Amino acid sequence: MTLDITKLTACRDEAVQHLTTELLPFWLDRCRDDEGGGFLTHFDGEGNPSGETEKSLIAQARTVYTMASAHRAGYGGGRCGEFASHGVDFLLEKMWDDSAGGFFWMTDQAGKVTMDKKIVYGQSFAIYALSEYTLATGDRRGVDYAQRTFDLLQKHAVDTLHGGYYEMFDRDWQLAGPGPEGGDRKTLDVHMHLMEAFTTLYECTGSSLHRRKLLEDISIITDKILHPDCGTGIPQFST
């Protein structure tokens, strides 16, 4: 198969156009919450606030990642970097648990915790975003808290017998109960996003430990999670 450079260039240019004239301006004009901190992430089809003001770890971390990645790539004229720093302030000041460690799952608009569970899906995005933030800005707060979160996962979430990571924990890192609470299963989503997180953390630190844990996670995905016959991912599994 021969690559058509002209078509590839056109696709790239179109993507850059959408990014720089539509996507980034939309969010830069709307998402920063100077009153409550962090980002507002719920808007209607017209771009107006929907009235939903809860702040999830997922949405806050993803917005930090987006702004940091855009800044690192040279977009935004410095604004994306400023927004990323603003988002990191909220993550560390409002969503980080100074007592048990790790990031809370949900706060209200002002940053008051409304759901204190430790969910590895969310922790993975925190590692991913904070590592990217340090790579983009040089601010060591990002990688510091990314490594703290990584260490907590190695202490509490790893299944040392069968491999992989459990997902659902109480605030104090006690594994959640079985069944509806989700403590008895592992998921494709978690391991996929941990792969992203550990890749970026390793890029940031160069640590042999981070590389080894990344390779272990990749092996879990390829050896255990991908279906041996059809090659698709198995969404949930036990051990």
The model's pLDDT over 35-83, given as tens digits with 9 standing for 90+, comes to 999 999 999 999 999 999 999 999 999 999 999 999 999 999 999 999 9
The yes-or-no verdict on residue 239 having pLDDT over 70 is no
The continuous run of DSSP H or E covering 217 comes out as helix 208-220
Q: What is the pTM of this model?
A: 0.95
What is the tens place of the pLDDT at every residue in 120-169? Answer: 999 999 999 999 999 999 999 999 999 999 999 999 999 999 999 999 99
How many Cα atoms occupy the beta-carbon half-sphere of 173 within 13 Å?
A: 17
Does 228 have pLDDT greater than 90?
no
User: Which residues are within 8 A (CB) of 230 and not within 5 positions of it... i.e. 6 or more apart?
Assistant: none
Is it the case that residue 229 has pLDDT exceeding 80?
no
User: Is the dihedral angle over the CA atoms 111, 113, 118, 122 positive or is it negative?
Assistant: negative
Strands 186-187 and 236-237: antiparallel
Distance CA 188, CA 176 (A): 18
Query: Six-digit token pair at 211?
Result: 């590389």
- Per-residue pLDDT at 238 exceeds 80: no
Instruction: Give the tens place of pLDDT for each residue, 158-192.
Output: 999 999 999 999 999 999 998 888 888 899 999 99
- CATH code reported for the domain at 54-237: 1.50.10.10
